Amino acid sequence: MKDPFSILTIFATMKTKLPTQSLLKVSCCFSLAISVFLFSSAFMEGETIEGAICRSVMFFFLMMFISIGNTCLLVILKETNRIGVRDCTVGFYISSFIMSTLVMWIMYAFQSYLIQQGISARTLGIKVKGDIIYLYTAVQGLFVNSVLLLLQNFIIVQDANNKAQLENSRLNAASSEAAYQLLQQQIHPHFLFNALNILKSLIKKSPVSAEDYLLRLSDFLRVSVSENKRGLATLKDEVKLGIDYLEMQKVRFGEALQFSFDTEKSEGFLPVFSLQPLLENAIKHNELTDADPLIIEIKQIGNWISVINNIKLRSVAEYSTGSGLANLAERYKLLSGDEIEIRDNGQTFSVSLKILENEDRNYRR
């Protein structure tokens, strides 16, 4: 069986992106709550059960008619401004207050009919007589309608904010994914040319070393071109990828590059391809000489893992987009909700990431 508001919701969806179903359901709950309050209030004031029920039911339908009328007017009369936000026009408010007045008069006429038939007792004060009753009911309608409009506007604003936050989250995710894929594509031109040249020379000098180098290179390229839909890799895999990368670079730089790994455990997860860009940045931005080697440490302290290197900046810096570390920080925050820690004391540079404990956990909650 269809939702009682489904027809109106379908009509509204064809015209607008207003949260029509939420508007109607919240209005219904609000009207029901007020009607229950009126029933209990009237009954405790000495009115009969029939009279209290009649008053509360009449008020419930009164508020629902006004709510439905406002929703229809929102669908018909709301306009979209230049930035895509839907605004209420002056015509909407005028039409809304006219509609609420007409609904009040119709309900008053219906109640008068019930009183004449002896079905309901008179509930209006004795002082309200003659044509002034129409002004009295009109003022009541304006008051009730104002409360409902405030409620409906609050729902619309909340829905717009929720949609904006969701869209912003989707844009951030898309941007991060695009940057990540771009980073993956940039790995090959930057690294593959030197790797193949080294492999060519090793084949002639040391076939055994060439075979080991080729295995590391194939593992490295396999990870770099594979698609990790979850965006996470095990700590063990990330550390192995870092070792493969540094071992290949050590073949190129020799004793000018020194490194060490100190990891307490292999459990946990990191954003995929998070350690290698940090190692690459250290090599890219610093001088490497046998007399003054670049020393890189990958150290785990508690549930944090850090990449630390001594600082000896190149006199002529290599070309860099400058987006590698920023991209990693954005991806890490998107996945975990936390920030990476960057420290530079002039002698050493370090980047630390908190190890994630569970790949199925939503860290942003």
Please tell me whether residue 286 adopts helix, strand or coil conformation: strand
Last residue of one domain, picked from the residues 140, 168, 196? 168
53 burial via Cβ count (<10 Å: 0-12, 13-18, 19+)? middle
Q: Give the separation between CA 76 and CA 307, rounded to whole angstroms.
A: 60
Last residue of one domain, picked from the residues 168, 185, 216? 168
252 burial via Cβ count (<10 Å: 0-12, 13-18, 19+)? middle
Same domain, 121 and 237: no
Decide which of 314 and 5 is more confident.
314
Residue 321: which CATH number?
3.30.565.10
Q: What is the pLDDT of residues 289-348, one digit of tens each?
A: 988 899 999 999 888 999 999 998 887 655 555 556 887 887 788 777 788 999 999 899
Q: What is the pLDDT of residues 223-275, one digit of tens each?
A: 766 655 457 888 888 888 888 889 888 888 889 999 998 887 668 898 888 89
Same domain, 154 and 246: no
Same domain, 260 and 332: yes
Same domain, 42 and 160: yes
Same domain, 155 and 288: no
Lookup: tokens for 280: 């690459």
State the DSSP code for 356: B
Q: Give the separation between CA 327 and CA 191, rounded to whole angstroms.
A: 19
pTM for the structure as a whole: 0.50
Lookup: tokens for 71: 């929703």
Last residue of one domain, picked from the residues 126, 147, 168? 168
Same domain, 151 and 240: no
pLDDT value of residue 183: 56
Question: Residue 264: how many CB atoms within 10 A of its CB?
Answer: 11
User: Would residue 86 count as lying in a domain?
Assistant: yes
pLDDT value of residue 79: 53
Same domain, 158 and 249: no
pLDDT exceeds cutoff 70 at 55: yes
Give the total number of structural domains in the chain: 2
Q: Give the separation between CA 177 and CA 171, rounded to whole angstroms.
A: 10
Residue-averaged pLDDT of the chain: 75
DSSP 81-127: -TTS-EE--HHHHHHHHHHHHHHHHHHHHHHHHHHHTTSS---S-TT
Same domain, 34 and 152: yes
DSSP 148-186: HHHHHHHHHHHHHHHHHHHHHHHHHHHHHHHHHHHHHHH
Same domain, 244 and 348: yes
Nearest to 344 by CA among 292, 293, 285: 285
User: Would residue 195 count as lying in a domain?
Assistant: no
Percent of the chain, pLDDT > 70? Answer: 73
Q: What is the pLDDT of residues 89-113, one digit of tens each?
A: 677 778 888 888 888 888 777 777 7
pLDDT value of residue 214: 87
Its domain, for residue 329, covers 227-354
User: Would residue 200 count as lying in a domain?
Assistant: no
Same domain, 150 and 12: yes
306-310, long-range: CB < 8 A, 24+ apart: 306/350, 306/351, 306/352, 306/353, 307/275, 307/278, 307/279, 307/282, 307/350, 307/351, 307/352, 308/348, 308/349, 308/350, 309/282, 309/348, 309/349, 309/350, 310/286, 310/347, 310/348
